[in-house]
Structures are given as structure tokens and as C-alpha cells.
Amino acid sequence: MSVVVLISGRGSNLEALLRAGIPVAAVISNVAGAGGLAIASKRGIPTKLVKHGDFPSREAFEAVLAAEIDRLAPKLVVCAGFMRIVTAGFVERYAGRMLNVHPSLLPAFAGLHTHERALAAGVKVHGCTVHLVTPELDAGPIVIQAAVPVRDGDTADTLAARVLRQEHLVYPRAVRWFLEGRLVIENGLVRVKGGDAQCIFSDND
């Protein structure tokens, strides 16, 4: 029941997964020097660097990345700050077994700069979403969401910090549900066997 984690940066969600006891078989980064590589190495978890810039095309990069993933035969592929938009072919290869966490309450604010856009829109509630990855960007079936209030005086940085704390709580939960076989997809919607809450609201962080 192993997991392969794809990263591009500091690895804070990777660290949250590891603290929660998620069985990570390997960590793959497309960026040299990504902080998450050091986090994995300190725990004795194998790491691999597959730099997208070393390849002539997106497809060539993805072919090598997929070969590294398939060599490990994971049950689940987890994107944890993996900052690459992948092709439909790559997504379909791992259809139904690739998760991502996005820093907004999808379908609101798909894509980048979510916190700035939330503040500009004047929303009163913001948050994060764990979803299954599909070819359409940030549009896969939602597994779990966590919401935080937008406070007077919030900046993109203060709001991002509160949302990130919720990511660290809900992402391990969603991964564990998947590994336990508790996620059921019906008509494009996800439910959890056992009735666990799929939406969390935090107003005291």
C-alpha cells in the first residue's frame, strides 16, 4: 500500500504525510535542491530527481517520470506542491489513483495566486481542497475540504499560512482514506465509507 510523492518545493505537505505515518515509498522532484528531498533523505526514504528542463518536450519528461513511478508500483501517486501541469495522457495513466491538494475551496480560484485572488474578491471564507487529479486543471472529484475565515487585515501571506495548516491536517486524512479503500466515486462525486466529515471549518487557528 505504498505511496509515491511528487514535489517541486519545500515539502511541508510531504512532512505532514510522513508525520501521519503515511507509507511513502519514494519522493520524486522535478526541481534540484527542493527542500522536500532533504526531508525524505533524513528519514531514509529514496529520492529521485527528474528535471523537466532536461527534456525536449513535456511528453519526454513525463515518460521518464512515469517510468520512475511505475518501477515502484505504488497504490497512489500524491502531488504535494508538484508545480507542473501534466498532460491528459499522464493523468489517464494514473486515473483514479492520483491526489492533489489545492489552496482554495474548489471550484473557486483554480490555478495560481489563490490567496491574492480570494482577498481581491472579498470572500469571507477561504480554504483548501484535496481532489482526485483529472485532465482538467483543479477540477477532479473533491475528497475533502477545509475552510478558514478571512479576517480583517489579512494579507495573502497570513491567509496562506492558515490555509497551509489545514492542508497539513486534511491531506494525510484523504490519503489514508484512499489506502484503506474507503473512497467511493459515484457520478463524479466522492463519498467516504463510514461517514467521516468531508468538510472541516476552523475558526481558531
Question: pLDDT tens digits for the chain (205 residues)?
Answer: 699 999 999 999 999 999 999 999 999 999 999 999 999 999 999 999 999 999 999 999 999 999 999 999 999 999 999 999 999 999 999 999 999 999 999 999 999 999 999 999 999 999 999 999 999 999 999 999 999 999 999 999 999 999 999 999 999 999 999 999 999 999 999 999 998 999 999 986 6
107 prior amide bond cis, ω within 30: yes
Set of cell numbers at residue 154: 489579512
Q: Could you tell me the domains of the chain?
A: 1-94 (3.40.50.170), 100-205 (3.40.50.170)
pLDDT attached to residue 203 = 80
- Spatial separation of the C-alpha atoms in residues 163 and 147, rounded to whole Å: 8
CA torsion through residues 21, 102, 108, 135, sign? negative
pLDDT attached to residue 204 = 67
Give residue 55's Cα distance to chain centre. Answer: 24
**The one catalytic residue among 52, 102, 126, 168:** 102
Q: Which helix (H) or strand (E) holds 5?
A: strand 3-7
Q: What is the DSSP letter of 183?
A: E
Q: Is 102 a catalytic residue?
A: yes
